[in-house]
Amino acid sequence: MSKNTDVESSIINLIGVGTEMKGDVVSNGDFRLDGTLIGNFYSKLKLVIGPSGKIEGNINCKDCDVSGAVKGNIETSEMLTLKASSNVIGDLVVKRLCIEPDAEFTGNCRMNNTENTES
């Protein structure tokens, strides 16, 4: 890896409890959301939505762990984990999916395994 990629992968961004942001977020590092985001989220790495975290908008990232609420579509290039306390309303496009008991999900899911898609 290049030095720039190493620096980006060690960055952890945070939106804390009680903070509300409006607008799209683009991140090159890992991200944790415990507040509210009204807008779309894009990251090359991992998004963790804590139990108090809420997103009203679409998510596109490598990995995502959801413990809070999402109202919007989620697309991950690797793993999506819906924890027991999560509530997701929207469509999913994922490579791998883990849904814990008591997680709430309303929408459609498409497994996107690009390695096996040959035309």
The answer to whether 50 touches 65, Cβ cutoff 8 Å, is no
Query: Cα 99 vs. chain centroid, distance in angstroms?
Result: 14
Tens digits of residue pLDDT in 30-88: 999 999 999 999 999 999 999 999 999 999 999 999 999 999 999 999 999 999 999 99
Which pTM value belongs to this model?
0.86
pLDDT in the model for residue 9: 54
Whole-number pLDDT of residue 1? 43
Task: Give the pLDDT confidence score for residue 115 in this predicted structure.
Answer: 59
Helix then strand then coil, % of the chain, to nearest 5? 10, 50, 40
Please determine, for residue 118, whether its predicted confidence score (pLDDT) is greater than 80. Answer: no
Residue 33 and residue 50 in contact, taking contact as beta carbons nearer than 8 Å = yes
Mean pLDDT of the chain, nearest integer: 90
* Contact partners, residue 5, CB within 8 Å, separation at least 6: none
Query: What pLDDT score does 94 carry?
Result: 97
